[in-house]
DNA sequence: AAGAGTACCAACCGCCACTTC
DNA sequence: GGAAGTGGCGGTTGGTACTCT
């Protein structure tokens, strides 16, 4: 299918947003709502493409957004959910009110990823045998269902097979088996992941209260 | 003081899923 | 059923601020 370009390149502004542009966007959305994003810039009198407006609003201008540093608790939630869900920033963001997928993604790449890598290195040096055993057992659990899922067409660039070690190995024998047998694969995998992250969040909150 | 290297984050791009006709 | 339009997502980039030498 041939797609029309997101925006006509001619005359549309790119790069950082100015205060004036922000104000125009905010007041337009407050007055009329965003409606169809692609039509919004023209209606609001902005020389931006709809996508750019949407991103700006969702990630920075929306009143629901919580700015500032991530708390320890938030960090922990991101780490755990990333272990379960992989790079599904949007799904992870739904568990962190006020945080956007972009913010979480940036935070992951600039802080948590490095920290995780560092701790991995430390663990490897401190206990290489255990590391090797863990990796090997993880492969055993993961390899079979992953191959099957891929062969069945359940994986895609949007929903790649999950490589996080969280619950995936546990899921391999029962639920994934059922999923592989069905036709609407990725949705079910999503639901499964959704469920598991909910389970985590519930247990996490219970744990926090204790 | 200044240049180089690094960290951070806002924004863009391309792709895919969903909806509408 | 399929083409076309739109929204949303994740990966990546580019600019700026900060730190180090």
pLDDT 10s per residue in chain A (210 long)?
333 444 545 568 888 899 999 999 999 999 888 888 988 998 999 999 999 999 999 999 998 888 888 888 899 999 889 988 888 999 999 989 889 999 999 999 888 877 776 666 656 555 544 444 433 333 333 333 333 333 333 333 344 444 444 333 333 333 333 333 333 344 445 555 666 666 666 665 555 444
Q: Are A188 and A179 in contact (CB under 8 A)?
A: yes
How many domains, in total, are found in chain A?
Answer: 2
**Stated in angstroms, how far is A105 CA from B2 C1'?**
34
Q: What is the pLDDT of residue A77?
A: 92
Q: Among chain A residues 115 through 144, which have CB within 7 angstroms of nucleic chain B?
A: none
A39 and A115, same domain (yes or no): no
Comparing CA positions, the residue from A66, A76, A61, A65 lying closest to residue A24 is A61
Q: What is the spatial distance between Cα A149 and Cα A180, in angstroms, rounded to a whole number?
A: 6
A43 and A125, same domain (yes or no): no
A86 and A49, same domain (yes or no): no
Q: What is the spatial distance between Cα A128 and Cα A124, in angstroms, rounded to a whole number?
A: 5
CA A26 to chain centroid, in Å, comes to 26
Q: Is residue A9 situated within a structural domain?
A: no
Does A38 contact strand C, using a CB cutoff of 7 Å? yes
Helices A72-85, A185-209: axis angle to 10 degrees equals 150
A40 and A99, same domain (yes or no): no
**Stated in angstroms, how far is A63 CA from C13 C1'?**
27
Query: How far is residue A8 from each of residues A4, A11, A13, A37, measured CA to CA in Å?
Result: 9, 8, 10, 15
Q: What is the pLDDT of residue A100?
A: 92
Q: Is residue A43 situated within a structural domain?
A: yes
Q: Is residue A10 situated within a structural domain?
A: no
- Which residue segment(s) compose the domain that A119 sits in? 72-209
Q: What is the pLDDT of residue A122?
A: 59
Q: What is the spatial distance between Cα A173 and Cα A145, in angstroms, rounded to a whole number?
A: 8
Instruction: Say which nucleotide is closest to residue A12, CA to C1' distance.
Output: B12
**Stated in angstroms, how far is A22 CA from C19 C1'?**
32
Q: Is residue A12 situated within a structural domain?
A: no
Does A37 contact strand C, using a CB cutoff of 7 Å? yes
A91 and A46, same domain (yes or no): no
A39 and A94, same domain (yes or no): no
Q: What is the pLDDT of residue A3?
A: 38
Helices (H), chain A: 19-32, 40-44, 50-56, 72-85, 89-94, 101-107, 113-126, 128-151, 168-173, 175-181, 185-209
Residue of least CA–C1' distance to C8: A90
Q: Are A50 and A7 in contact (CB under 8 A)?
A: yes
Does A88 contact strand C, using a CB cutoff of 7 Å? yes
Q: What is the spatial distance between Cα A27 and Cα A61, in angstroms, rounded to a whole number?
A: 11
Burial A83-99 (b: 16+ CB within 10 A, else e): bbbbebbebbbebbeeb
């Amino acid at each position: 299918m041939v797609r029309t370009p997101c925006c006509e390149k001619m005359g549309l502004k790119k790069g950082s947003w100015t205060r004036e542009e922000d104000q125009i966007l905010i007041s337009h959305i407050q007055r009329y709502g965003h409606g169809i994003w692609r039509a919004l810039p023209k209606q609001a009198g902005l020389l931006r493409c709809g996508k750019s407006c949407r991103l700006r609003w969702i990630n920075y201008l929306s009143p629901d957004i919580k700015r500032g540093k991530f708390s320890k608790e938030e960090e922990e939630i991101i780490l755990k959910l990333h272990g379960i869900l992989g790079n599904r920033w949007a799904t992870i963001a739904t568990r962190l009110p006020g945080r956007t997928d972009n913010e979480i993604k940036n935070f992951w790449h600039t802080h948590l990823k490095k920290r995780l890598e560092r701790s991995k290195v430390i663990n490897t040096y401190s206990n290489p045998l255990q590391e090797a055993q863990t990796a090997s057992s993880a492969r055993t659990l993961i390899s079979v269902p992953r191959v099957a899922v891929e062969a069945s067409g359940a994986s895609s660039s949007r929903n790649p097979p999950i490589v996080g070690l969280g619950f995936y190995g546990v899921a391999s024998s029962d639920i994934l088996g059922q999923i592989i047998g069905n036709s609407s694969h990725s949705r079910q995998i999503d639901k499964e992941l959704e469920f598991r992250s909910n389970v985590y969040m519930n247990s996490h909150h219970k744990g926090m209260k204790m």
